[in-house]
Amino acid sequence: MKIVVQLVLWVIIGVLGYLVYNSVNGPVKFNKIKQARYAKAVENLRDIRTAQLAYRSVTGKFTKDPVKLVAFIDTAKFTLTQRRDSSFIRFNKILKIDEPRDTVIVDTLGYASVKDSLFKSGNHKNMIKIPIKGVESNFEMDAGYINKNDLRIPVFEAKVAKDVLLYDLDKDLLFQEKEVRSVDEVNGAFLSVGSMTEVMTSGNWPRTYGANDQ
């Protein structure tokens, strides 16, 4: 009987030890995996932002079509220009005199491939895919316009839910992660860049994951 009691006590001690260890090590492991996955996702989001800004510089708008965005990188060209100040003489018919006028002349110097300028490595091909093992989906992407100070301004947003990035981790810790509010963390339920409600192209991640603006 005494041996049985001792065995039971040892089992209880072992279980309690495991629970204590897991309560300490669980959050540490969660944060380590989280940070690694966020870093990978941020890299893709930054590429998407670079591609979207290039798309806007050529077309005047953003796109929500990932296929169109990748095709744009593969085929589009930047127009290389040079601005220079100049002046000319205009005859004033009222005063009957010649008057100097200043102007700016824009010369087209040539064209440069968007792909060669921004994505020489070809990594734009996979920028839409969520780079996490076990996740077979793409970043959510939207684009459109908002009105600001009587101006119609193009905007875009690309994002991925923390539920997707951390799908296989502890659900209680994941819930806490989605509720976090800190300048050193990714606030809210999504990792995102751009906005469909504000004129911004920055990301919502802290700089520990890389530059969040451009």
The answer, yes or no, to whether residue 17 has pLDDT greater than 50, is no
E-strand spans in 59-189? 77-92, 97-113, 140-148, 151-161
**At 19, is the secondary structure helix, strand, or coil?**
helix
| 41 lies in the same domain as 125 | yes
Is this structure's pTM higher than 0.85?
A: no
| 107 lies in the same domain as 124 | no
| 173 lies in the same domain as 94 | no
Q: How many structural domains comprise the chain? A: 2
128-131, long-range: CB within 8 Å, 24+ apart, which pairs?
128/44, 128/48, 128/66, 128/69, 128/70, 129/44, 130/41, 130/44, 130/160, 130/164, 130/165, 131/40, 131/41, 131/43, 131/44
What is each CA distance from 125 to 27, 51, 87, 205, in whole angstroms?
34, 11, 47, 23
State which residues form the domain around 156. Answer: 29-75+120-209
141-186: pLDDT as tens digits: 999 999 998 999 999 999 999 999 999 999 999 999 999 999 899 9
